[in-house]
Each structure stands twice: as C-alpha cells, then as structure tokens.
C-alpha cells in the first residue's frame, strides 16, 4: 500500500536537492568555520552564502540573521533575550493563547521569574484582535509576541496591523513564523517585526537548524555563551551542513512559492468541502480565508481524534490531531479551547496538512476512506448513540 503523508505542518521530508547540497559539507568540506586555514575559510564562506539566501527570502540584511538549532531555540532566544536585556526598561510581555509551546512555555518560565505576561484571547476563528494588543500595552511593556500562522488550525494573524501598533508604541515585536517562511510571502519590513523565528524542517530542509531574524538595533542577550560565532550572539561551532541545507531549501521555496500556494489552496479547499459535505456533524476549525494554503483542521463530533488517526494510519494515511509536540498527550488542543471550541469537539479534531508531494488522487483517497471510518467509530460511540436517541424522542 502506498502511504499518504498529510502531516507536513509537523515536518517535511528533506528534499533531494537539499541533501545533495549538504553532502560535501559532511564529507570533504569539514573545516571549522572559525579556523584560519582554507578548510575553515571555505566553510565560513558557505555559511555566509546561506545567510544571504535566508535574508533575501524575508527582506532582511545578512547581519540580521542568526542561525539557531531550530524554531524552538529561535523563540527561546527572542523572548528570554529581550526579557533579560530590558530588565531596567520594563517587565511586561504580551502574547496570545494560541502560541506554539516553544513560546507559551517560555512565557510561563519568565512569569515564574517575576515577569508579567498578558495572554490575549482570540475569536472563534482563532484570530487575534489588534485592538486588544493596543489596549494591553503599558509603559512597562517590553515585548509583543504573536504567532504568524498557527500550526494547528492555520489561521494567518494580522501581523502587519499589530506591527504598526508595536512600532507606534516603541515596543519590540516578535513573530513565530515557523509555519509561514518558505510557504507564503514573508517580509520583515512589511510585517514591521523586530524579531522573527523560522525553522528549516518545515520547508523541506534538515531538522535541527533554524534562524532568528534580529532587526538592527534590537537589544537582546545571548542564550549561548562561549565563542564568538554568529557575531557573539550564539556561541558554538556552526552546523555547517545544516546551514547549507537551510540555504538551499530557502532558495527552492522562493522559486516555487507562488505556484505552490495556488496548487495547495485548490487541494485544501477541495478537501475541506469534500469532508464537510460527506460527513455530517463536522466543522472547520480556524478562518476559512485567512488560512495557510496547506492547512485543513476539522472537528468531527462524537468521536476521538486519536481513534480516527489510528484508523487512517491502518489505511496508509498519516495525519495528526494537532501540534507534533502535544500529540503524545490526550489533552484537547489548547489552541482549539482558546477559540471557544467545546472540549468534546476539540477532542474530535483532525489536522491534515498538505505539501509538495500531495496530489489530487491522495485527496480523493482521503475523501473515500474517512467517511466510512467515521461511520464505523460513531456506530461504537455512546455519545453519538445518545444524541441520536435524543433527536428521536
């Protein structure tokens, strides 16, 4: 059975072009980029080439890119870096209830150390209201952090508007753009962000590499102390091959983005309409328009998302119920709960995220396979039987 992968928001396969670009830096070009000899200098040159590619994709300057071990480190660096650098200025951070765990947990960590954190709620479509951001700003606010597009339900947030508010208030603004960089246009100047996190493995690059964009003049303390790599902002010998991989992945994303956005949007909408049309008691989670081109997240009432996943897996279809980080827990998604989704509905959520190798045939296969799975599970569901009896009485 040919397997169907529909969990591209969790991670993407590393493209063969990327692996090919990385290989020489695992074998022949093994020099330490901090070294003076030609081995080191060649590696150093390559890192700088990759930095240019990353900067170009997001409209940044080369010196504003710091390579990290991924999105989690970039988010940790942004939030703790600004918090520690701004101790004399203020102690208040504004964030939202739909952030990835790598922002949410840092906020909790900082909160336990005396920082004040305002966590803004979202509407039923998962959208942050820029006016709420404006109202939450105080003279102690040092940072606003709002996710660009949510990894679970795909809503694309009004970052431009929030960026304008942050700029007018003179508050540093960070966005977690791990789900958007390489997928939809991202320009740090249009978005008016001071800090932006990205990760290679979400855009067909290798795992364990990412970057933080730091606008010139933004004050933040380093997380890693040691050598002078990354202009003293992130100590440690650089992961040269992975950085090369990120550079190549970014280059390919740039070339293919506009066509891919159109293709995926078409397939996404076909899947959403097909599922909502063929299975009753379902609803779309997230915004129907302001949505990532590859994200389908639906709640199917009266059954557990995990049982759907297992049954889909038996049919060779790989999906998820939410973020990869929380998929081991049976807690309903904090994102869906924040949108006001009742817990029982949040438990029945299914995330299908499309990508480069998703075809129309695969979408049709999901549309054929999922309705009978739902019917089978509902036939065993006391919740479903209960509601049917209620209706009949």
Ligand X SMILES: Cc1ncc(COP(=O)(O)O)c(C=O)c1O
Residue with tokens 């480190």: 73
CA 1 to chain centroid? 30
Stretch that binds ligand X, among 66-74, 128-136, 274-282, 347-355 (CB under 6 A): 66-74
* Site membership for ligand X, residue 151 (CB under 6 A): yes
Residue 89 contacts residue 142 (beta carbons within 8 Å): yes
Among 70, 154, 274, 322, binds ligand X (CB under 6 A): 70
Among 31, 33, 71, 154, binds ligand X (CB under 6 A): 71
Q: Is 351 helix (H, G, I), strand (E, B) or coil?
A: strand
Q: What angle do CA 151, 70, 227 make, to 5 degrees?
A: 155
Count other C-beta atoms under 10 Å from residue 24's C-beta: 15
Nearer to ligand X, 10 or 374 (CB): 10
* Site membership for ligand X, residue 176 (CB under 6 A): yes
- Count of residues in contact with ligand X, rule CB under 6 A: 16
Catalytic residue among 119, 283, 318, 325: 325
Q: How many residues can be counted in the chain?
A: 393
* Site membership for ligand X, residue 130 (CB under 6 A): no
* Site membership for ligand X, residue 76 (CB under 6 A): no
Which phi and psi angles does 7 have, rounded to 5°? -135, 40
Q: Which two three-digit tokens encode residue 185? A: 């246009």
Nearest to 333 by CA among 317, 319, 351, 318: 351
Residue 304 contacts residue 311 (beta carbons within 8 Å): no
CB of 290 to ligand X, least distance (A): 16
CB of 157 to ligand X, least distance (A): 11
Q: Which two three-digit tokens encode residue 299? A: 């709640």
Nearer to ligand X, 42 or 194 (CB): 194
Beta bridge partners of 211: 67, 198
CB of 329 to ligand X, least distance (A): 15
* Site membership for ligand X, residue 80 (CB under 6 A): no
CB of 393 to ligand X, least distance (A): 45
Residue 354 contacts residue 268 (beta carbons within 8 Å): yes
* Site membership for ligand X, residue 210 (CB under 6 A): yes
Residues 95-124 that bind ligand X (CB under 6 A): 100, 102
* Site membership for ligand X, residue 287 (CB under 6 A): no
Nearest to 269 by CA among 202, 367, 183: 367
CB of 1 to ligand X, least distance (A): 27
Q: Is 334 helix (H, G, I), strand (E, B) or coil?
A: helix
Stretch that binds ligand X, among 39-47, 174-182, 224-232, 335-343 (CB under 6 A): 174-182
Stretch that binds ligand X, among 65-73, 118-126, 331-339, 372-380 (CB under 6 A): 65-73
Nearest to 250 by CA among 46, 50, 62: 50
Distances (CA, A) of 248 to 125, 163, 227, 230, 253: 35, 29, 26, 20, 9
Among 72, 86, 297, 326, binds ligand X (CB under 6 A): 72
325 is catalytic: yes
* Site membership for ligand X, residue 245 (CB under 6 A): no
Residue 153 zone, left/alpha/beta (φ > 0; ψ -120 to 50; rest): alpha
Nearer to ligand X, 179 or 333 (CB): 179
* Distance separating alpha carbons of residues 271 and 277, to the nearest angstrom: 10
* Site membership for ligand X, residue 199 (CB under 6 A): yes
Nearer to ligand X, 159 or 279 (CB): 159
CB of 323 to ligand X, least distance (A): 6
Q: Which two three-digit tokens encode residue 202? A: 């979400």
Tell me the residue nearest to ligand X as measured from the CB: 71
CB of 133 to ligand X, least distance (A): 19
Residue 2 zone, left/alpha/beta (φ > 0; ψ -120 to 50; rest): beta
Nearer to ligand X, 75 or 239 (CB): 75
Give contact residues for ligand X (rule: CB under 6 A).
70-72, 75, 100, 102, 147, 151, 176, 178-179, 199, 201, 210, 323-324
Q: Which residues are catalytic?
A: 325
């Amino acid at each position: 059975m040919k397997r169907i992968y529909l969990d591209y928001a969790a991670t993407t396969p590393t493209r063969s072009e990327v692996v090919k670009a990385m290989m020489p830096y695992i074998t022949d070009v093994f020099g330490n980029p901090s070294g003076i000899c030609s081995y080191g200098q060649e590696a150093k040159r390559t890192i700088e080439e990759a930095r240019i590619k990353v900067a170009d994709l997001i409209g940044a300057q080369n010196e504003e890119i710091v390579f990290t071990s991924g999105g989690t480190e970039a988010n940790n660096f942004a939030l703790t870096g600004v918090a520690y650098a701004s101790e004399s200025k203020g102690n208040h951070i504004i964030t939202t209830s739909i952030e990835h765990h790598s922002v949410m947990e840092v906020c909790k960590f900082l909160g336990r150390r005396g920082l004040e954190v305002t966590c803004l709620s979202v509407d039923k479509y998962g959208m942050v209201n820029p006016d709420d951001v404006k109202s939450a700003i105080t003279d102690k606010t040092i940072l606003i952090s709002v996710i660009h597009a949510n990894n679970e339900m795909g809503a694309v947030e009004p970052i431009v508007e929030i960026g304008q508010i942050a700029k007018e208030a003179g508050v540093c603004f960070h966005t977690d753009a791990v789900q958007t960089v390489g997928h939809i246009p991202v320009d740090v100047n249009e978005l008016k962000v001071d800090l932006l996190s990205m990760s290679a493995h979400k855009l067909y690059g290798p795992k364990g590499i990412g970057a933080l964009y730091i606008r010139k003049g933004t004050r933040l303390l380093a997380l890693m102390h040691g050598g002078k790599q990354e202009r003293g902002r992130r100590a440690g010998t650089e992961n040269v091959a992975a950085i090369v991989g990120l550079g190549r992945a970014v280059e390919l994303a740039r070339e293919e983005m506009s066509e891919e956005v159109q293709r995926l949007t078409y397939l996404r909408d076909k899947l959403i309409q097909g599922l909502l049309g063929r299975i009753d008691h379902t609803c779309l989670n997230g915004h129907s328009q302001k949505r990532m081109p590859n994200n389908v997240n639906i709640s199917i009432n009266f059954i557990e998302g995990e049982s759907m996943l297992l049954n889909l897996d038996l049919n060779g279809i790989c999906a998820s119920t939410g973020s990869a980080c929380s998929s081991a827990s049976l807690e309903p998604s904090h994102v869906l709960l924040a949108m006001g989704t009742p817990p029982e509905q949040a438990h029945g959520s299914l995330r299908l995220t499309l990508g480069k190798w998703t075809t129309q045939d695969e979408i049709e296969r999901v549309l054929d396979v999922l309705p009978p799975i739902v019917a089978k599970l509902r036939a065993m569901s006391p919740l479903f039987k209960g509601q049917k009896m209620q209706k009949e009485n």
